[in-house]
């Protein structure tokens, strides 16, 4: 299920741009700043420096397991 995977990039403040968290459903190999941060908040020459500051993590979850646990706990 594509909703069970995502790439999360946490980008701290850079120059006059505030920090931001970006989420996007991409494959694990595409989990980086260049594929996830859209629109890019900085102009071309600053993209590399901006992306080096971002921390991107690939995350997976099982929504079926979560639903089962909620049902069991609710009963």
pLDDT digits over 8-44, tens only? Answer: 999 999 999 999 999 999 999 999 999 999 999 999 9
Q: Given this model, what pLDDT does residue 23 score?
A: 95
Q: How far is the C-alpha of 25 from the C-alpha of 31, rounded, in Å?
A: 9
Domain count of the fold of the chain: 1
Q: Given this model, what pLDDT does residue 63 score?
A: 75
Q: Given this model, what pLDDT does residue 67 score?
A: 81
* Structural domain for 42, as ranges: 5-73
Question: In the predicted model, what is the mean pLDDT of residues 53-71?
Answer: 86
């Amino acid at each position: 299920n594509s909703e069970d995977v995502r790439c999360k990039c946490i980008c701290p403040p850079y120059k006059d741009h505030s920090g931001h968290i970006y989420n996007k459903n991409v494959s694990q190999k595409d989990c980086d700043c260049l594929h996830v941060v859209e629109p890019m908040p900085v102009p071309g020459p600053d993209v590399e420096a901006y992306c080096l500051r971002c921390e991107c993590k690939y995350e997976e979850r099982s929504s079926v397991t979560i639903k089962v646990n909620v049902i069991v706990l609710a009963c």
